[in-house]
Structure 1
């Protein structure tokens, strides 16, 4: 800020702009890392309770239309209840990260689908969005801290922490997270499989 009040030669303005952008990016990274640390602490102190996964997902998906008016949301859920042992607040936080990711990597007006597939052993939460496919990569690499594979459709920076948090919450519930391109190449599906 002090440099901006000084007379800066035109040849140095580009460097000043890059330095300011770098500082802003570093600040955003530190804020995101602080949020990830808070989630890690919340996971460490979370208590397990019995809750209806279908009701939690229905409630969360109903709220996304208001939060993201530029996207449509569809819930494909079996009839409830579906009792699960875990932390419902963490499940909502995990779904929020999945939806944030789907919104960031889908075009305006896109329809994002939240699906729950159930079998006797596993409840699989899937978030599917149209958009650019994932590049060929090692399985699970997307879920590492601070790892990015693609740029979003918006101008917001992506720090590779959202899907890392998804993985942590899945693991707290004894599950796992994965991502794959849709068979027709039109988008991506991220799945979280949790034992019942």
Structure 2
């Protein structure tokens, strides 16, 4: 830790999210008995937060993709789990604070270092200045939407919901098709992101059931899937989906999609939670 306190203009809860995601990521890919180190130091006008581990590491050709949403890198049969959404959130939060996120590794088997650089608050500064870039823009009150995320991967669904809430939307989560149908009847979502490969009632069946219910006539159905061929897109269209998104998807693309839907639907009032 630094010898003296360092002042930031920052949301403490969001900085906590950054560190939680980096530490969880390090723990996921560091074996029992490994070592994880959290450090903070001043570098010029910035503070550098770093989480280092001696875990499975990252191949050089995969480093550039580690912060992309839904990207999986360095996975093995013994280190599966997670979709990389947490690291995408880390980058988004860092950029919204005027900072940046980075990753380094000497290669597979040689551990990793994930770092976040945040600007220090200059003396007497009236407010923090958000950085330009590709981070998702917060939704203004007149484009906030009721959104539902449906995915049997509990962690992935919760993290995507957190991302969408971060940019200003009201988000519910369901982890299977029947629960989603019941919840949609009560919550009347305006947009639903559906995973395709769910057990029992899959995404196609859920979309068809929603389209057969007049109460959901105006809902925007978005398929989030790893499959993106012409046949896959035709199948989602036939099932009733409006949009087919292939993973990985950037948070900015999701923000733009929701903003366009609000504009086209003529929504001009904030939604109630």
CA displacement at 1:172 relative to structure 2: 1.1
- Given candidates 104, 107, 127, the residue that maps to 2:28 is 104
Instruction: Tell me which moved more, 112-121 or 96-105.
Output: 112-121
TM-score, normalised to structure 1, is 0.56
Report the equivalent of 1:181.
105
CA distance change for structure 1 residues 173 and 104 in 2, over 3 Å: closer, same or farther? same
- Name the larger-Rg structure: 2
Report the equivalent of 1:128.
52
CA distance change for structure 1 residues 153 and 101 in 2, over 3 Å: closer, same or farther? farther
Q: Counterparts of 1:117 and 1:190 in 2: how far apart (Å)?
A: 14
Which structure shows the higher helix fraction? 1
CA displacement at 1:136 relative to structure 2: 1.9
Report the equivalent of 1:157.
81
Superposed CA RMSD? 2.3
TM-score, normalised to structure 2, is 0.41
Report the equivalent of 1:167.
91
Q: Give the number of aligned pairs.
A: 120
**Which stretches in structure 1 are left out of the alignment for 5+ residues?**
1-76
CA distance change for structure 1 residues 79 and 168 in 2, over 3 Å: closer, same or farther? same
Asked whether the equivalents of residues 57 and 107 of structure 2 are also in contact (C-alpha less than 8 Å), the reply is no
**Which stretches in structure 2 are left out of the alignment for 5+ residues?**
121-273
| Structure-to-structure mapping, 1:28-177, within 5 angstroms | 77-137=1-61, 140-151=64-75, 157-177=81-101
Which digits, 9 at most, give the CA deviation of each residue in 1:58-79, with x for residues without a partner? xxxxxxxxxxxxxxxxxxx112
SS at match of 1:192: strand
CA distance change for structure 1 residues 148 and 184 in 2, over 3 Å: closer, same or farther? closer
Q: Counterparts of 2:77 and 2:3 in 1: how far apart (Å)?
A: 34
CA displacement at 1:154 relative to structure 2: 5.2
- Given candidates 91, 110, 119, the residue that maps to 1:195 is 119
